Structure 1
């Protein structure tokens, strides 16, 4: 898991703009099965996750990748809603200053969108077992 600090520039959940609630932290996970997740976290404890299979990434240049998204997960207050999705996340190398993550996906529950800009510092990385 990687945790980046910075600024959330946009957060849309089910078509509703929630940018003002978005925190200055972004989480990124890569699971053993190859599934990737980008977690946009709010100050109220909610999390919006864009997820897809990492082996489907396209790299238009050495410092940019586009991750196809096939699911969106929204968690808040112990409740989790999952929806199949069609979309993508475009992100830049977080070790190049600053990194950017932009995600957008359409679901039967509406549109989900998020954008995050890192503060230019490398993310902290942990490897839970």
Structure 2
């Protein structure tokens, strides 16, 4: 009986220690996973996306999207898995393009809102 009790006590301690370690690990991983300039959708920072596609970061929300699209197409085709490329790299290239497009779209929306505020709100009236 004493052996059984000591065995149960040790097992219970291991379970508690394991649960505490798992909780600590999960909370630190969650904090480390989301950087301030990382979007949850792509998981890339803007600087990482620009490095992957070898383009300059958008300046004031403007980027030459033809160059971005050209570099994206080339890298996406080179990394085609059917031609011996890597699906992982292909997905990174895709996410990099999406991240840059997302940044440019956010800046354009912000500029449009500011322009509308400067002009004043003019509702469309139908007669």
Higher helix share: 2
Rg larger for: 2
| TM-score of the superposed pair, with normalisation by structure 2 | 0.23
Higher strand share: 1
| TM-score of the superposed pair, with normalisation by structure 1 | 0.23
